[in-house]
Amino acid sequence: MGHAEHHAEQNAAPEQYDAVVVGAGFAGMYMLHRLRLLGLSARVYEAGDGVGGTWFWNRYPGARCDIPSMEYSYQFSEALQQEWEWSERYATQPEILKYANHVADRFELWPDMQFNTRVEAAEYQAKSGTWRLTLAHDDATDEVEARFVIMATGCLSVPNMPSIEGLDDFAGELYHTGVWPHEGVDLTGKRVGVIGTGSSAIQSIPLIAAQAASVEVFQRTPNYSVPAHNAPLDPAYVADIKSRYAEYRAENWQRGFGADFRDSDRSVFDVTDAEREAEYEDRWARGGLAFLAAFNDLPFDDAANATAQEFIRQKIAGRVDDPELATKLTPSTPVGCKRLCVDTDYYETFNAPHVSLVDLNETPITRVTATSIETTARAHEVDVIVLATGFDAMTGAVSRIDVRGPEGSLNDKWARGPRAYLGLATAGFPNLFLVTGPGSPSVLSNMLPSIEQHVEWIADCIGYMEQHQLGRIEADLKAEDEWVTHVNEVADTSIYPKCNSWYLGANVEGKSRVFMPYLGVPPYLEKCADVVAKGYDGFTLSN
Ligand code: NA7
């Protein structure tokens, strides 16, 4: 019996929708809103028991966004952006989650969202031209059918669990930053081992250290971090932006990460050494990711990037008392090649006597026992292990759904790395859209505006199809191949392929090493608009 017949036998008449959206993060919520505006029936399925996506799950101490809150928010509704009050320069996870809930209330999204429901499979039905989805909830499975499927599954939604021998035998408390307990964790007086030193670790370690009796940080690769200089938002600053919000947002579109980035059009080599240092000092003093935009060649030119590396190295040396420890905390990779981190007192935390670093390059972890993390040197006895080991980024969530198109499975197609046209659709999978999928700027941009741009593109496309009574859209393989080649060519002109980052999938064992995001917001926006202007160039539309 074929896969399809088997399903049909299980459930003779699945519920029918025009569109199913997978995920109730910022992408899924806005997608639902736009589909409703088109007059379509739509249903959102979400594995968690609330909205917010990555902000629903990542509740570790210190979790906050490192894009300024005034631009890490929706802009589709002027009323919404005027009424919402952010309290700090960088919003905390609880505040972002509150905002997500506010949006769900304000646009009455709740009735069309179903929680605690995981989409396990999506199978294209050749006869009807619809997708049949298998849903898992409350120990039961269920099926629904939809003409369109939109994967709003997020770029950082599947935790990367390290395969360390004995981890399951650990008798103490074990947490992953990406699935932190909702009730919080009291670490008072505990001996804590933190594995990983990416953004999640760098944000949480100072707060963990404030509670714990001891903190041992197990570092495989040091990361560069720039101080956040977080602060309450100045009401005058907020009022100014709100008086010209649309203009402010438009500026964001000219830049990848937003207006606050103040992208420079100068090369490192256009200025004197003193001017260069002054620029770095100024950006360091203001804080945040904008450091990376000090000169336009930092992401592309090794010699230019080396000047930024040297500057941060000096800063780390100035923040850590023990010079040997400072050296261990100092990366040797290009700045920005792994995602730059933004911290509050990360390096200073290592000056406290109860905080120490275990350099896994010197003494790798051999196994975890019931009571310790063992390295080649010794057993480190701990009560709590915090895995700050990141995510199976960009493709993890989609790859955990068994997606089968008319010609085969998506996981087979993507076995040697994801292939998608504009990160919006993938050839062989009609009427299936990806929000901020691989090959779109996504994680190399401010995610919120990028999500909105994708949702609007997809909604406009479906609206166009409805208007012209077209039932089927599929990306052309040729257009997709050309786009994937272009994504790689652009990446190869940059520093990004030069270290083992999650942008490349290098953090996940066995994952193909392919650079997944597209580097360049303005050319990407132009390309998306051009595709539409040319009647969905690179796609085949039919009845
Ligand atoms: P990241 O940035 O992927 O960091 C994960 C960290 O965990 C990183 O330091 C890894 O070292 C380390 N890691 C992963 N697996 C292991 C094993 N097996 N042993 C030791 N260390 C390990 O994830 P985050 O959650 O911090 O941040 C993700 C993004 O969220 C961030 O970039 C922002 O965009 C927001 P490695 O560098 O791979 O050697």
pLDDT, tens only, 11-29? 568 999 999 999 999 999 9
User: And the tokens for 346?
Assistant: 């990360």
pTM: 0.96
Euclidean distance between the first and final Cα of the chain, in Å? 30
User: And the tokens for 66?
Assistant: 């490192």
Cα angle: 165, vertex 166, 171; to 5 degrees: 155
Residue percentage of the chain with pLDDT more than 70: 98
What confidence score (pLDDT) does residue 398 get?
98
382, pLDDT greater than 50: yes
Tell how far the Cα of 294 is from the centroid of ligand 1, in angstroms.
25
Atom of ligand 1 nearest to the CA of 163: 18
47, pLDDT greater than 70: yes
Q: Tell me the per-residue pLDDT of 318-351, one tens digit each, with 9 for 90 and over.
A: 999 999 999 999 999 999 999 999 999 999 999 9
Atom of ligand 1 nearest to the CA of 390: 23
What's the chain's average pLDDT? 95
| Ligand 1 atom 21, closest CA | 196
What confidence score (pLDDT) does residue 263 get?
87
What confidence score (pLDDT) does residue 78 get?
97
Among 499, 70, 68, smallest CA distance to 289 is for 68
387, pLDDT greater than 90: yes
Q: Tell me the per-residue pLDDT of 188-215, one tens digit each, with 9 for 90 and over.
A: 999 999 999 999 999 999 999 999 999 9
Tell how far the Cα of 70 is from the centroid of ligand 1, in angstroms.
27
Phi, psi torsion values for 226, nearest 5 degrees:
-110, 140
Ligand 1 pocket test: pick from 195, 203, 220 the residue with the most ligand atoms within 8 Å of its Cβ. 220
| Ligand 1 atom 31, closest CA | 199
10, pLDDT greater than 60: no
Q: Which amino acid is at 344?
A: T
Q: Tell me the per-residue pLDDT of 346-374, one tens digit each, with 9 for 90 and over.
A: 999 999 999 999 999 999 999 999 999 99
2, pLDDT greater than 60: no
Cα angle: 267, vertex 517, 476; to 5 degrees: 125
* Mean pLDDT computed over 519-535: 96
Distances 413 to 22, 245, 403, 425, 427 between C-alpha atoms, Å: 20, 42, 10, 13, 9
| Ligand 1 atom 35, closest CA | 199
Atom of ligand 1 nearest to the CA of 178: 25
* Mean pLDDT computed over 294-317: 97
How far apart, in whole angstroms, are the C-alpha atoms of residue 349 and residue 206? 6
Tell me if 283 sits within 8 A of 251, measured CB to CB: no
Residue 257 — very low, low, confident or very high, per pLDDT cuts 50/70/90? confident
What confidence score (pLDDT) does residue 325 get?
98
Residue 139 — very low, low, confident or very high, per pLDDT cuts 50/70/90? confident
Phi, psi torsion values for 175, nearest 5 degrees:
-130, 150
Ligand 1: list residues with CB < 6 Å: 156, 162, 177, 195-201, 220-221, 339, 360, 388-391, 500, 502, 507
Tell how far the Cα of 388 is from the centroid of ligand 1, in angstroms.
6
Tell how far the Cα of 501 is from the centroid of ligand 1, in angstroms.
8
What confidence score (pLDDT) does residue 12 get?
63
Residue 1 — very low, low, confident or very high, per pLDDT cuts 50/70/90? very low
What confidence score (pLDDT) does residue 254 get?
77
Three-state SS string over 92-107 comes to: EHHHHHHHHHHHHHHC
Tell how far the Cα of 329 is from the centroid of ligand 1, in angstroms.
15
What confidence score (pLDDT) does residue 256 get?
74
